[in-house]
Amino acid sequence: MNNSKALETTQDVLAQPSSRWFAEFGDAVPGEGSGFDCRWIAGEGRAQRLYLRNEPGCASPLFAERSGCGVVFDGVLLNRKELQSDLGEFTAPAVSHDAEIILAAYQRWGDDFLKRLRGPFALIIWDSGREVLLCLRDPLGSHPLFYADGPRNGLLLSASIDVLLGHSAVSNELNRAALADNLLDRYPRLQETFHEAVSRVPPGHVLRVTRQGRSASRYWDPAPNREVDWLSADEVERFDELLDRAVSRCLSFGPTGIFLSGGLDSASVAAVAVERSKAEGLPKPLALSLIFPDPKENEEIVQRGVANQLGLSHFLKPFFEATGSNGLIPQSLKLSETLPAPLLNTWIPAYYDLAREGSRRGCQSIITGGGGDEWLTVSPFLAADLMRDFDVRGVYRLWQSLRRSLNRSSLALAWTVGWTFGVKLHALPPAHGFVKQVAPWALKLRHRLMREPPLWVPPKWWAPDAALRRDLEQRKEEADENRRQASSSYYFREVRSALDHPIVSWELEEMFEVYQRAGVRVLQPFWDADLVDMLYRTPPLMLMHDGRSKGLVRSSMARRFPRLGFERQRKVEATSFYASLIYKDASDIWKKMGGAQTLASLGVIDEGNLRPALGKFMAKEHEGRNAHRVWTVLNTETWARRHVS
* Residue 300 identity (one-letter amino acid): E
Residue 195, φ and ψ in degrees, nearest 5: -120, 130
Picking from 174, 192, 218, the residue at the C-terminal end of a domain is 218
Query: Is 164 part of any domain?
Result: yes
Furthest-apart CA pair in the chain: how many Å? 75
| pLDDT value of residue 441 | 62
Which one, of 40, 644, 10, lies nearest residue 327 by Cα? 10
- Helices 239-251 & 264-279 angle (0-180, nearest 10): 70
CA 240 from centre of chain = 25
pLDDT digits (tens, 9 = 90+) for 507-552: 999 999 999 999 999 999 999 999 999 999 999 989 988 888 888 8
- Mean pLDDT, the chain, rounded, equals 87
Higher-confidence position of 571 and 537: 537
DSSP state of 264: H
Distance CA 581, CA 207 (A): 41
Residue 88, φ and ψ in degrees, nearest 5: 60, -130
Query: Is 449 part of any domain?
Result: no
| pLDDT value of residue 343 | 98
Distance CA 569, CA 406 (A): 9
| pLDDT value of residue 461 | 94
pLDDT digits (tens, 9 = 90+) for 177-195: 999 999 999 998 999 999 9
Q: What is the mean pLDDT of residues 350-359?
A: 96
Beta strands of 358-471 (E only): which ranges? 365-367
The count of structural domains within the chain is: 2
Query: Is 575 part of any domain?
Result: no
15 and 157 housed in the same domain: yes
Confidence check: pLDDT of 470 > 50: yes
Measured at the alpha carbon of residue 221, what is the angle toward residues 210 and 536, in degrees to the nearest 5? 165
pLDDT confidence bin for 482, thresholds 50/70/90 = confident
317 and 346 housed in the same domain: yes
Distance CA 428, CA 145 (A): 40
pLDDT digits (tens, 9 = 90+) for 126-142: 999 899 999 999 999 99
Which residues span the domain enclosing 342?
233-374+520-538+549-563
| pLDDT value of residue 7 | 29
pLDDT confidence bin for 291, thresholds 50/70/90 = very high
pLDDT digits (tens, 9 = 90+) for 239-285: 999 999 999 999 998 999 999 998 889 999 999 999 999 999 999 99
pLDDT digits (tens, 9 = 90+) for 117-175: 999 999 999 999 899 999 999 999 999 999 999 988 899 999 999 999 999 999 999 99
| pLDDT value of residue 5 | 32
Measured at the alpha carbon of residue 340, what is the angle toward residues 367 and 610, in degrees to the nearest 5? 110
Higher-confidence position of 18 and 382: 382
| pLDDT value of residue 4 | 32
The DSSP H or E segment spanning 72 is: strand 69-75
Q: Which of 231-240, 358-367, 544-553 bottoms out in mean pLDDT, i.e. has the lowest?
A: 544-553
260 and 332 housed in the same domain: yes
Confidence check: pLDDT of 95 > 80: no
341 and 255 housed in the same domain: yes
Cα separation values, 465 from 3, 281, 630, 632, Å: 44, 62, 22, 20
51 and 193 housed in the same domain: yes
212 and 265 housed in the same domain: no
For strands 256-259 and 365-367, give the pairing: parallel
Query: Is 348 part of any domain?
Result: yes
| pLDDT value of residue 381 | 93
Confidence check: pLDDT of 13 > 50: no
pLDDT confidence bin for 16, thresholds 50/70/90 = very low
Query: Is 607 part of any domain?
Result: no
Query: Is 168 part of any domain?
Result: yes
| pLDDT value of residue 9 | 34
Distance CA 67, CA 87 (A): 18
Distance CA 101, CA 117 (A): 11
Higher-confidence position of 314 and 226: 314
Cα separation values, 377 from 232, 273, 326, Å: 18, 21, 36
Compute, in degrees rounded to 10, the torsion defined by CA atoms 122, 128, 132, 138. Answer: -20
Domain of residue 132, CATH code: 3.60.20.10
31 and 173 housed in the same domain: yes
Percent of the chain exceeding pLDDT 70 equals 88
Picking from 218, 241, 257, the residue at the C-terminal end of a domain is 218
| pLDDT value of residue 109 | 93
Query: Is 528 part of any domain?
Result: yes
* Residue 29 identity (one-letter amino acid): V
pLDDT digits (tens, 9 = 90+) for 38-91: 777 776 555 688 999 888 878 889 999 988 899 999 999 999 889 988 888 776
Contact 349, 323 (CB under 8 A): yes
50 and 97 housed in the same domain: yes
| pLDDT value of residue 622 | 57
Query: Is 644 part of any domain?
Result: no
198 and 248 housed in the same domain: no
Q: Enumerate residues 6+ apart whose C-beta is below 8 A from 607.
A: 461, 595, 596, 597, 599, 600
Confidence check: pLDDT of 28 > 80: no
167 and 272 housed in the same domain: no
63 and 96 housed in the same domain: yes
162 and 30 housed in the same domain: yes
Confidence check: pLDDT of 15 > 50: no
Domain of residue 244, CATH code: 3.40.50.620
Picking from 563, 597, 615, the residue at the C-terminal end of a domain is 563
Q: What is the 3-state secondary structure (H, E, C) of 147-190?
A: EEECHHHCEEEECCHHHHHCCCCCCCCECHHHHHHHHCCCCCCC
Q: Is 321 exposed, middle or buried (0-12, 13-18, 19+ CB in 10 A)?
A: middle
